[in-house]
Structure 1
Amino acid sequence: MSAAVQPQSLYALPESIDDAVTLLQAGNYIADRSLATAVFLALKLCRPLFLEGEAGVGKTEIAKVLAGTLGRRLIRLQCYEGLDIAAAVYEWNYARQMLEIRLAEAAQTGSREEIAHDIFSDRFLIRRPLLQALEPGPSGPPVLLIDELDRTDEPFEAYLLELLSDFQVTIPEIGIIKAPEPPIVIITSNRTREIHDALKRRCFYYWVDYPDAARELEILRAKVPQAADGLSREVVAFIQKLRGQDLYKLPGVAETIDWTDALVQLDQVALNPQAVDNSLGALLKYQDDIARIRGSEAARLLDEIRTEMAAR
């Protein structure tokens, strides 16, 4: 969980789908028009945007790009099994409360009711990411990233319903805390489990798929401009072929970028079987997948790619 302040930006909230495309491109995010439409509608309607898809396809990056291009504070809640309200929303500063009670008792000031009322006030409240996201910022409401929601359990998912529908949380000792303006909420899921319909109903939903070859090449040119154009084309063609293989974990866009970076560091201007074999660890993250592709299969895929490129 982290909160970071982004620099002031000249970009305003998009007024059209074309504006949304431009906004994302300003942060080097190459989105197809359907994704830009989802972003535009979520921002225009002040609805949370629920992004689902395989790991590494660029879901988390959208929140980072929006925070950067809009000049908003990015507040990130990284989800995990066992995440609870104390870590995600708020908790009381028990050490300070105990000290306050002892000081009041020593000074013999105030009744028990007055002390109890005082120690459950805002100055003893520790605000965690979800509560921080309800606070206004100098450049506008923050961007709240609830990352990998599928890693949490259903009770926490149910707790989010009030936040996502009314942009407020209820603290029993204080009451309702509501955002003056709704934050920009991006929720991601790798679909390791199904998210309940009640939560999805409060969001604008979009499935982020692997990009086609043309868009992946465009992404690579934006993210790794130092790579030779021929290398980038071969990398994209190779990865597009890999996604048709029976692998445990198909490479995402993040792996495409990482692998190309690695190949550039190895001074490669084109793919060859040895370079592929030596750098597969930057592309595939399971040994069974690496063993399946390394050697003759990698050479076969490269031959197919070269034959197809020559035929164009």
Structure 2
Amino acid sequence: MTDELTDAVTLADRMQRVGYLVDDGLATALFFAVRLGQPVLLEGEPGVGKTTAAKALAGALDTTLIRLQCYEGLTASEALYEWNYQRQLLAIRLAESRGDRLRDADLFTAEFLSDRPILQAIRFTGPRPPVLLIDEIDRADDEFEALLFEFLGEAAVSIPEIGTFTATRRPIVVLTSNRSRELHDALRRRCLYHWIEFPAAARVAEILRRAVPAAGGALIASAAEFVGRVRTLDLDKPPGLAEAIDWVSALSMLGVTELTGPAARRTLAALAKTADDRDVVTEAFRVLDEPDSARA
């Protein structure tokens, strides 16, 4: 499947078939990641579709998605590999029952490794290279970034007791970041890069039509325009595409065909995610109580 991928247009078409609308810039960055074998770093505000892009890429390529969710305090044993101590203990007991004695070298071999997402991607044996999503890398510590340098540059992981595991086929690596902190230059140098903007109202409407096919065209158009307007306000958590989809889904579930103030207030929980934002968005709903002529 990856060998058949001849250009970014083909990739964009395949991603569209699995339900993800991708613009030329993002499609090109992902195409290079696939064909050049280089990791790609996707940055943007929360909710613009970075994680979903990696999932859609795996779907478009008909391959396995391996996900590593980053967080503060993430360690090598959770991300790269760890030793299966229970299996090692069992091997020791079996050896003792036979009157044998195992050396350390016998216990620290590949058969006693527990693959975590990164080593799993390196040792993947499926028909196509997997897509490895390293999600929200900015949530991990600076020290964790350093653990990734060898993998991102050489598609390899060094294990002191064994040696180096190198991928026979490079996994397709997608890193995402919400820019909650600045990433190390050494990590950026190892990656392709693309910034994902929140889409314009017309594209948001197109995404909503695909995500919530039961919703009417008038409702979708109004909701897409309103979400764009709300995002310009001083909010703690500006609504992203996920919130927009949830909001339209909630409105549609209530049988709403036209966006009005009362309907919007009933579904506020899908759009505003903090107490302060609820107040700001509720105030913004006032415009929906006005006649269409007054809104214009």
* Superposition TM-score tier, normalisation by shorter sequence: over 0.9
Number of the residue aligned with 2:214? 226
Instruction: Establish whether residue 267 from structure 1 lines up as the match of residue 255 from structure 2.
Output: yes
Structure-to-structure mapping, 1:1-312, within 5 angstroms: 13-110=4-101, 115-294=103-282, 296-300=283-287, 303=290, 306-307=292-293
Note the C-alpha offset of 1:14. 2.5
Aligned to 1:205, what secondary structure does the other structure show? Answer: strand
**Normalising by structure 1, what TM-score?**
0.90
Q: Is the 8 A contact 2:230 2:284 kept in 1?
A: no
Provide the rounded CA distance (Å) in 1 between the counterparts of 2:53 and 2:284. 35
What's the CA shift for 1:279?
0.7
Q: Is the 8 A contact 2:67 2:117 kept in 1?
A: yes
Aligned partner of 1:299: which letter?
Answer: R
Shift of 1:266: 0.7
Deviating more after overlay: 212-221 vs 227-236: 212-221
**Alpha-carbon distance in 2 for matches of 1:277, 1:208:** 30
1:153-203 CA distances to partner (integer Å, 9 max, x unpaired)?
011111000000000000001100000010011111111111111101111
Which residue in 2 is equivalent to 1:4?
A: none
SS in 2 for 1:133: helix
Check the 8 A contact 1:167/1:182 in 2, yes or no. Answer: yes
Tell me the distance in 1 between the aligned counterparts of 2:48 and 2:5: 23
Structure 1's 34 and 177: CA in aligned 2 closer, same or farther, altered over 3 A? same
Deviations 1:198-222 (A, max 9, x none): 1011111111110011111111111
**C-alpha distance after superposition, 1:254-279 (max 9, x if no partner):** 11111000000010001111111111
Structure 2 Cα separation of the partners of residues 72 and 273 of structure 1: 44
User: 1:137: how far off?
Assistant: 3.3
The CA deviation string for residues 209-259 of structure 1, in whole angstroms up to 9 with x for no partner, is: 100111111111111111100000000111111111111111111111110
Give 2:11's aligned amino acid: A
Distance 1:247 1:301 in 2: 19
- Distance in 2 (alpha carbons) for counterparts of 1:74 and 1:195: 24
Q: Identify unmatched segments of 5+ residues in structure 1.
A: 1-9
Q: Does the 8 Å contact 1:213/1:237 carry over to 2?
A: yes
Q: Aligned partner of 1:187: which letter?
A: L
Residue type of the alignment partner of 2:25: S
Is the deviation greater in 45-54 or in 96-105? 96-105
1:15 CA displacement: 1.1
Deviation at 1:119, TM superposition (A): 0.8
Q: Secondary structure at the match of 1:230?
A: helix
Mapped to 1, the partners of 2:45 and 2:266 lie a distance apart of 25
Distance 2:17 2:277 in 1: 35
CA distance in 1, matches of 2:203, 2:197: 12
Residues 125-177 of structure 1, C-alpha deviation per residue, up to 9 Å, x if partnerless?
A: 11111100012333211110111111110111110000000000000011000
Query: Which sections of structure 2, spanning at least 5 residues, go unmatched?
Result: none
CA distance in structure 2 between the aligned counterparts of 1:185 and 1:251, rounded to whole angstroms: 27
Distance 1:268 1:106 in 2: 71
CA shift, 1:303, in A, is 4.0
Which SS does the other structure have where 2:267 is aligned? helix
1:133 is matched by which residue type in structure 2? A
The alignment's C-alpha RMSD in Å is: 1.9
User: Is the Cα–Cα contact under 8 Å of residues 260 and 288 in structure 2 kept in the other structure?
Assistant: no
- Letter of the aligned partner of 1:214 in structure 2? A
1:28 maps to a residue whose letter is G
Counterpart code for 2:263: A
